Amino acid sequence: MASIVNKRRESMYFRAVAQIVSEKITNANISATTVTAVKLSNDGSVLTVYVTFESNKERSLENIKKTSGFVRSELSRLGNQRIVPHVVFKYDDTQESALRIEEILRQIKKGK
């Protein structure tokens, strides 16, 4: 179970990464990016950032992964963090999964 301190850090990192991605990353190969969640490892060494894209998710994910060093350097400027976590970007497919489940349930309901 994550501690309260870890949850606070996740919240801080979520706001910071969302701002960095929306304002400071200007790569034309990354379509409109939304940060949906962040997960900080228990020891604080790895920050997993879940993102979605407006279009072309494979190319955008590949290109945003290349910015992880820049994002980490920007996070280091936040304040007195002893450890600045390594940033790992992952595609968040929960919305797509939810749509598939809804479609399956709709088909089951039609069948009855």
pLDDT in tens, 58-83: 888 899 999 999 999 999 988 777 88
Res. 101: pLDDT tops 90: no
Average pLDDT over residues 29-52: 90
The single residue listed with the structure tokens 């490892």 is: 41
pTM for the model stands at 0.82
pLDDT of residue 110: 83
Q: What is the mean pLDDT of the chain?
A: 87
Tell me 42's DSSP state: T
- Looking at residue 2, its pLDDT comes to 61
Strands 33-40 and 46-53: what pairing? antiparallel
Instruction: Give the per-residue pLDDT at 78.
Output: 84
CA distance 70 to 46: 15
What's the pLDDT score for residue 68? Answer: 93
Question: Could you give the domains of the chain?
Answer: 4-111 (3.30.300.20)
Q: Decide if pLDDT at 19 tops 80.
A: yes
